[in-house]
Structure formats: C-alpha cells, structure tokens
Amino acid sequence: MQTANSQVNCSSASDIIGALQNILAHSQQISDFKTPHSRANHIPNTNYPAIELKGECISNIVAERQQQLDTVLLDISGLATVMGNIENLHKQLVEQKNKIIQSMTFYKGLVSSLWRLPTEILSQIFHLCLPEDKYLSPASKQAPMLLTTICRPWREVAMGTPSLWCRLHVEPTGRDWEKAVAFYHSWLKRARGYPLSLAFKCWNSPEHLSLLQPYVKQISSLAIRVYHRSGISENLLNDLPRLPALQELVVQARQAPNFSPMTSISTSRLPSTMRSLDVSDLPVFDITRLSWFNSVWVHLTNVKISTSHPGALLYLLRLCPNLSSLTVRTSSFYKAQILEPLTHANIQSLSIVNHSRNIGCLTGLFNALSLPNLRVFELCYGASNLWSRKVLKAFLARSRCSLESLIFSGQLTVTEVQQAEYIALIPSLNIVVDYSSQHFS
C-alpha cells in the first residue's frame, strides 16, 4: 500500500497535491470500522481472547486494526511533512511574486522618461530630495541613504554624486562606536575630496579626533557640542587638528556653564580661511579674550558671540573690519557709559539678544555706534524692557542707513504709534513684531 511517506520529499505543487490525494484515499478506505460482530465489543468477559464468532477470529480483527493504525500514523507523519512543504512552497511563491512585480516595474519604468534622464539631471533631482537640515543624519529612510535602496541605477547615480555626501551629523553610539566609524568613513569617502560640513552631537572623546584626521583638508564647516559634566577635559579641543580649509566653526557647551574651551584653542589652529565663528553658547567674552584671536577676527564676516561688556562689543567691531553679520547674546549688560564713537561700514545684519531687564548699556552702545550699511536690525528680549525710542531713532538717523527690516521679538512691546515713528524716518522700512521668537528656547 502506498503511503504519504513516499511523498516526504515533495516540493512542487503537483507533488504536494498528489500526496494529499493519497492521504485522502487512505482515510476513506479505513473510515468504516464496523463489523457484523461489533456488538462483541460490549462483551464483558475478556478471559477468552480466541473466541470465534461465526467463523471469524477476533485476533484477526485486532491485527487488521493494527495495520490500519500503522497506516494512519504514517499518513499523519506524511501530512506533517506535506504541510511543511506547503509552507515552504508558499514562501517560494510569495518570493516569486515579488520578483515578478519588481521585474514588471523595472520594464514598465524603461518606457518612462525618468529613466532616460541624463545622470547630471538625476543628480540635481536627488539634491532636491535632501533634507533641509544643515547637517544630514545617516538615517536609512531619508536621502541620501534612501536613494541607494530604490533600484540599481539610482544607487549608482547616488553613490557617484559626491556632493550628496558632503554633510554629516555624527552622533555618539557607545559600544558600537567602531562599527559607526566604519560607516561614517564609507559615507565621507563618497564625497571624494569635496568640502565637508560635519557636526558632532557630543564631542567627548579623543576617538572623535581620529574620525576627523583623514579629512582635515576637506572640512570647511565644523560644529561641536561639548559635554563637560561628563568629566571630559576642555583641553580636548586643544588637540583639534589643523583644518586648513575651515571656514565655519561652531562650539556649544550648554551643559557646562563654566566651560571655556576657546581659552585652550591655539590661534594657529584657526586658519585665515575662517569666515564664520559661533561661540554664542559659551561663557561671555571680555576684551582680554577677544585679543587672543586678533589673527582670526580680521577675516570673519559672520560672528555670534556672548558678552556683557559694551566696550568689548565695540572692540570686536574694530577687530572685524569685514564683518557683515553680528549676533550678540547677553544676560546682563553693564551700566550705561560714554563710549568712543565707532562707524562700521560693512555690518548689514545686527541682532541683539538680551535675557535680562538690564539694558542700560544699550543706550551708551547705540549712542556711540553708526552702521551706514545696516539692512536688518533685530532686538530680542527675554523679559519686558523699557526701550528708549529716542536712542533708537537717533541711531538710525545718525547711521543714515537704508534699513529694510526692523524686527522686535521676544517680550518687547512695540505699539503702532511707535512703529509709525520709525517708518517716518525710513518710509520703506518693514517692521516685524514677532512674539514667537525662539531665541530663548
């Protein structure tokens, strides 16, 4: 008698169907277990195993049932095997379905104009897919990583476009740092010598320096957030390699209020290519600290800094003759004082961010300052302040600038009457009152 065991190795749909048909046939053949002597099953006396009823021996019936049981057990084993084969076959069919759909999609795509686009145009489209963030997170579900998973042609174009890989946000990964370094290197190597913009979310280990080393001649922008509370020495920044192509440096230390990393960075490590410096998150600068960077200030066009000394601010402007944009953060200015007049011809954007009610020094500062090329002026306060309209109007009149935007943000209140006074001085002036400013977040 053929059993399902003969079909144990079946893998095709026809083999599986054949095995199932055999099992079904067997079950039908032995589905009736009644005999003319079934009532003998109820005989209570079992002391006579060889009782014969109408010429048929019970022992023969038992032997037949044993054979039937063996057959059923074999069928059950075979059915289990067939069910496993069905599951495997289902997986194979699903995989085949996906491959067929993928192949259909590919060949349908061949008639699409998208596939006939030159590589240069496709590269530009890929650029438009990049997040607007200054530094890109290496996430698999966003460009440029996502572009490498769509299809082989797109992967080749994405991998072959160096400018897609020039920005990177490096995050700490703990025990997986070595694996992460390998990934970061593979990312940065795709830039093929293009200028790099790198950001380190947590600069707290000499290992980060090793990541920079192969690309020191490419790094044009570097942002570092230092966590001093973890016990990392601020001298770590002094080990920063020379970056001859560096144009922008950002240093943050929000969790280390007494951290002064700029005191340990040698000026020789800040090249003449520097154009932008953002240390507004660091402790306030005074004139002494400003003097440490005389060789750097002269080249800067954009500065963000914290200071509570009005004289230091004017001194900074003297050190930066090419400065076009300045943001000053302060929590407490000194009292008003008479300062030596200063005219800076290149400042186009000025932002004063004050966190306290004390604005006495602003009076002395703006009485001494003239900015004839100023285009955007922002005053932002974290607390309600009594701002002297007379001082501001005198500053604008003295500067004779073609101011385009005057922005009041934070908690500074400006009435419509006051706005009209400023517009009377500069008719084309656009005044913005923004109470949702994020300067104080």
Amino acid at 386: L
Residue 5: the pLDDT is 44
**What integer is the mean pLDDT of 405-429?**
86
Q: Considering only residues 223 and 112, tell me which one the structure prediction assigns the higher pLDDT.
A: 223
* Phi, psi (degrees; rounded to nearest 5) at 409: -135, 175
Residue 173: the pLDDT is 64
Q: Domain end: 74, 91, 110, which one?
A: 110
Tell the burial category of 293 from Cβ atoms under 10 Å away from its Cβ (0-12, 13-18, 19+). buried
Do 387 and 359 touch, CB atoms closer than 8 A? yes
CATH number of the domain that 406 lies in?
Answer: 3.80.10
What is the per-residue pLDDT across 232-254, written as a single tens digit (0 to 9) for each? 445 556 667 888 999 999 988 76
What's the DSSP call for residue 186? H
The residues that bridge with 278 in the sheet, in sequence order, are 250, 304
Q: Which domain range does residue 290 map to?
A: 284-441
Do 45 and 30 touch, CB atoms closer than 8 A? no
Place of tokens 């049932």: 65
Amino acid at 409: S
Q: Residue 141 pLDDT > 60, yes or no?
A: yes
> Which helix (H) or strand (E) segment is 226 a member of?
strand 219-226
Structure tokens at 76: 């059950």
If one counts the domains in the chain, the total is: 2
Indicate whether 382 belongs to any domain: yes
Q: Residue 406 pLDDT > 70, yes or no?
A: yes
Alpha-carbon span 325 to 306, nearest angstrom: 14
Indicate whether 366 belongs to any domain: yes
Collect all residues with Cβ–Cβ distance below 8 Å to 196 and sequence separation of at least 6. Answer: 166, 167, 168, 188, 215, 218, 219, 220, 221
Q: Residue 388 pLDDT > 60, yes or no?
A: yes
| 51-74 burial: b if 16+ Cβ within 10 Å, else e | eeeeeeebeebeeeeeeeeebeeb
Most confident of 56-60, 62-66, 221-225, 384-388: 221-225
> Which helix (H) or strand (E) segment is 65 a member of?
helix 58-110
CA dihedral 19, 20, 23, 24 (to 10 degrees): -140
Alpha-carbon span 294 to 385, nearest angstrom: 34
Q: Nearest Cα to 259, choosing from 238, 229, 289, 239? A: 229
Indicate whether 189 belongs to any domain: no
Q: Domain end: 63, 80, 110, which one?
A: 110
Q: Considering only residues 291 and 84, tell me which one the structure prediction assigns the higher pLDDT.
A: 84
Indicate whether 358 belongs to any domain: yes
Indicate whether 104 belongs to any domain: yes
Indicate whether 222 belongs to any domain: no
Indicate whether 172 belongs to any domain: no
pLDDT above 90 coverage of the chain, percent: 26
Q: Is the peptide bond before 144 cis (omega within 30 degrees of 0)?
A: yes
Q: Residue 196 pLDDT > 90, yes or no?
A: yes
Alpha-carbon span 200 to 198, nearest angstrom: 7
Collect all residues with Cβ–Cβ distance below 8 Å to 434 and sequence separation of at least 6. Answer: 407, 408, 409
Indicate whether 167 belongs to any domain: no
Residue 6: the pLDDT is 43
Q: Residue 208 pLDDT > 70, yes or no?
A: yes
Amino acid at 417: V
Alpha-carbon span 254 to 245, nearest angstrom: 27
Handedness of CA 197, 199, 203, 205 (dihedral sign): negative
Residue 55 region, left (φ>0) first, then alpha (ψ -120 to 50), else beta?
A: left
Q: Domain end: 94, 110, 126, which one?
A: 110
